[in-house]
Structure 1
């Protein structure tokens, strides 16, 4: 299992909209997340930042992430949520949410 964390900013005035969208995520988006071997997925908010955490339980992370990114319904969902975001300037090329480095874990 691989633990993944990422971070992005919320545009001023868009937090309520972002929370509203996530109160009823489209069923096909949730289905795709599960089909791409993502478990225990959460998004947290603090001081203008969103922090995402999930556990990847598959064997082909890059392939599963590409499958999700290529899914037309997921692309439409991202089109709806992206206006709420401000990506970090320090993110890697090709990232929207900036991946974070795990520095500690305790089971």
Structure 2
């Protein structure tokens, strides 16, 4: 299992919209993530900086392949059309990233 963290900005005027979307995530989106071996997915909001911090645990052996499957799912792609306008990707993110992945530096069980 690999713990993964990621960060992205959020448009202040769209915070309530984003919260409402995530209060009722579409079942197919959740099923697609589960099939991609993503567990314990949590998104945190930090105001007033307007940052979203995402955390999940990946239980697979080929993260890139599993994420390609997520990205290929039509319902997930449709979901992203609602979420993406709320988000502000960091300028420092790596090529090909929407959410900027973070490096783990500490963990305590």
TM-score normalised to structure 1 length: 0.98
- Segments of 5+ residues of structure 1 without an aligned counterpart are none
| Deviant stretches of 4+, over 6 Å | none
Instruction: Give structure 2 stretches of 5+ with no counterpart.
Output: none
Q: Does 1:31 align with 2:31?
A: yes
- The corresponding residue for 1:5 is 5
Correspondence for 1:55: 57
Distance in 2 of aligned mates of 1:24 and 1:81: 13
Q: Could you tell me which residue of structure 1 aligns to residue 104 of structure 2?
A: 102
Q: 1:12 & 1:55 partners in 2: Cα distance?
A: 28
What is aligned with 2:18?
18
Normalising by the residue count of structure 2, what TM-score does the alignment of the two structures yield? 0.96
